[in-house]
Each structure stands twice: as C-alpha cells, then as structure tokens.
Amino acid sequence: MFDHCLYFNSSALARLAEREWSAAYAPFGLTPAQGFVLRVVLASPGCLSSQIADVLGIARPTATRLIDNLCQKQLVERRQAESDGREWGVYPTRAGKALDRPINDASAQIAKTLREKVGTDLFQSAVSSMHGIRKALS
C-alpha cells in the first residue's frame, strides 16, 4: 500500500536503524544521537554547537540538549572560545577521549553488519540516495 511513499519507507527504515545503532551504543551508555555528537566532538575538538548541528543535520536546540547530556555524563565540556568570548567550544574530556577508538570501532562494526545484511551495493546506494534527498529538501 505504501511501497512508493518516501515518508513511510524512510520512517520505517529509521526505526530499524535506530534499534541497530541503539544496541551498538548501549555498552557506552549513549543513545545513537549522543554517540554521533561525541564522534563529531572527538573528530573536531573545540567545535561550536552550531557546527555540530550542521554536521549532523539537526536543529541547534537539539544539538545543545545532546551536548548538555554529554556534559552531564562528563564526556565533553564547554570552554569559552579564545577568538570570541561569546561562543563556547565543545571539547572531549579524558573520559570522552577514552571512548574515541571503542565508539568508532563499534560504529564501524554496525555499519559492516548492516552492509552484510543488505549487501554492499544496496547499502552504498541507499546511503548516497538518502544523502542526496536530504540535501535537495534542505
């Protein structure tokens, strides 16, 4: 009935992907969204919340809330930017840095598992197509 509906199929796929990524990040006490924010901060220490929001394609208030959660877990911290005292950079803490390799390994493993389940070509094609659709609609 809804085989050709972008909304239905993307939402259903998002729920399935959420379950897979939730299981992958559960050992770290993180949701997938928190895990991806941490990965951005680990890759770009000192980035601003607006930059995190842009990279992840989320709203700035959502990025702020996720950063707040990671601050409470003592995985990241905010520091005043040296170039502009009105802005705050986000940096990984020692505990956050300790998760760098394990969380990236877990991410690589879940991506590998998903590629194996659906096939490499379909996986790459789907990700590329979704990225293109996201860009076209934003």
Q: Mean pLDDT in each 10-residue stretch from start to end of the chain (138 residues)?
A: 87 93 96 97 95 94 96 96 79 98 96 94 93 88
pLDDT at position 129 = 92
Is the Cα torsion angle 111, 116, 117, 118 positive or negative in sign?
A: positive
90 burial level (CB within 10 Å; 0-12, 13-18, 19+): buried
pLDDT at position 27 = 96
Query: What are the extents of the domains in the chain?
Result: 6-137
Residue 74 identity (one-letter amino acid): Q
pLDDT at position 54 = 94
Where residue 10 falls (left for φ over 0; alpha for ψ -120 to 50; beta otherwise) is alpha
> What is the CA 41 to chain-centroid distance, rounded?
10
CATH number corresponding to 6-137: 1.10.10.10
pLDDT at position 82 = 72
pLDDT at position 98 = 98
DSSP 8-class letter at 86 = T
For the entire predicted model, the pTM comes to 0.89
pLDDT at position 117 = 93
pLDDT at position 84 = 67
